Chain A
């Protein structure tokens, strides 16, 4: 039945660096034949690739519908999927931070409204600090929420910090450092162990032992 190892690839910012890393590990997507297929084989027919929206990847891999995937640790922590994460791929590095308008002091007590795309991660972060917050879940342009008065602060990804500065905000604290991970379904690790282990070893080697040609 499903004997080929299926790998979910994240559409968006990690797609190019993720496929480049797989290619350096000797796992290359076969050239597109112009059709509108949703599943692509690799050159050796050993793997199959399925491009998906990143936030959906942990759910597919946890359920076993797809055997492995590449996904940012920000999403992995948010979804809390029960999967293996054998290789930190070292790509897509950025930080998840708590940010607020410059000049705003966070209240030591009382409640704070925080806008974020990461409600669970945010809740865990503030629970760890024993601070009570109201979380506003947004799906995009989180940095504008304080300007418009929807929230006092945000928890969001930053790469350079430019967007924050342009919106008059500053980083208050790091919530987590983020990078892309290879994730693997728990059962596939056992039932498809030869190919899954090959994938893990190859990626681990190009990331940690042969990082020379990183683009």
Chain B
């Protein structure tokens, strides 16, 4: 094979000088926020067993870059940080203070569709808080994330906040089968509310519950919007979830202007179990990162600890800087 050695494979790029300096600057600001909040850096291995990605998030496994080692074990380039953090914390929990506060920064690799102009190497920076009191941890992690954005040149960045328990509480009582539930989730994920309404009606879901799903699909705004949604919802799990969002925001008055309650988005992969964050740059109309509570992931690694974290796309941060 005679390939041009000065070229690069499709889906990859070099970042030179100015682009590299911008990212270095952002990473340094994040690092100092993390250090003062008591988070310590870890550098997970760049190579994992492919099976690491079987737990929790199926979508990532399909997109991992895989290869074989000398013993023909299936390996993958790092496709996500969070499972690696879960693996590390599970292995070294006894040597770590509780709760565990870690941060990471580096590349992840995922297959993308050909010819869509997407890269296959992404750069992420994020943090995880494992253990401790969940309500306090949610507050702490959101505060750290917003501090990172504020200190690194994104003072107008906003966060849309939701809670997986709100939707879960509404659909749990419906007695839908797995495939019907997947259909309902997919219609909500596409925001096709007419199709969703008629499907729910076909499935025999009563009008008041269809009304609640409709309420969620419109609920975006401040605490008044959240209170309005709460008033129409009857089940205990959803109400508790809404109350925990109210409490989260009330403990972060310094970020009131930055927080929007947005109950419209659901987590189609069912990865998050509690609070969910989407970080945005309104000025650039770009999503900067995501995060949330994922208590069931640690359990899959054999450590039954609550966990919450966030991850920013360094590529998006670099573009908007």
Q: Contact residues of A with B, CB < 8 Å?
A: 1-2, 59, 62-64, 67, 80, 84-88, 184, 186-193, 204, 208
Contacts and interface: CB of A to CB of B under 8 A. Distances in A.
B206 interface: no
Nearest to B288: A187
Contacts, number: 51
Interface string B188-204: 00111111000000000
A88 B287 contact: no
B282 interface: yes
A189 to B, nearest CB: 7
Nearest to B283: A1
Contacts of B7: none
Contact of A86 (B117, B191, B280, B281): B191
B220 A193 contact: yes
**Interface size range on B against A:** 20 to 34
A85 B192 contact: yes
A85 B191 contact: yes
A188 B193 CA distance: 18
Given A2-B285, A191-B285, 9 more contacts: A63-B117, A84-B192, A85-B192, A87-B194, A184-B191, A187-B285, A188-B285, A190-B160, A190-B260
22 contacts: A1-B284, A59-B116, A62-B116, A63-B116, A63-B117, A64-B285, A67-B285, A85-B191, A85-B192, A86-B191, A86-B193, A88-B194, A88-B195, A187-B286, A187-B287, A189-B191, A190-B260, A190-B278, A190-B280, A191-B285, A191-B286, A208-B194
Interface in B162-200: 190-195
A204 B280 contact: no
B128 interface: no
A59 B280 CA distance: 21
B190 A85 contact: yes
Contacts of B80: none
B262 interface: yes
B280 A187 contact: yes
A76 to B, nearest CB: 10
Contacts of A186: 287
A213 B220 CA distance: 33
Contacts of B264: 189
Nearest to A187: B287
Given A59-B116, A190-B160, A190-B278, A64 B286 contact: yes
A187 B284 CA distance: 10
A87 B217 CA distance: 13
B117 to A, nearest CB: 7
Interface centre among B191, B192, B286, B287 (most CB of A within 10 A): B191
A186 B280 CA distance: 11
Contacts of B283: 1
A-B pairs, top 4 by smallest CB distance, nearest first, are A84-B191, A191-B285, A86-B191, A187-B287
B286 A204 contact: no
Nearest to B221: A193
B257 to A, nearest CB: 15
A184 B264 CA distance: 14
Contacts of B192: 84-86, 88
A204 B286 CA distance: 26
A186 B193 CA distance: 15
Interface in B254-281: 260, 262, 264, 278, 280-281
Contacts of A80: 113
Interface in B103-124: 113, 116-117
A87 B190 CA distance: 10
Contacts of B116: 59, 62-63
A84 B285 contact: no
A64 B285 CA distance: 8
B226 to A, nearest CB: 15
B285 A204 contact: no
Query: Which of A63, A88, A189, A191 has most chain B Cβ within 10 Å?
Result: A191
Nearest to B278: A190
A115 B260 CA distance: 49
B278 to A, nearest CB: 7
Contact of A191 (B191, B195, B280): B280
Contacts of A187: 280, 285-287
A215 B296 CA distance: 53
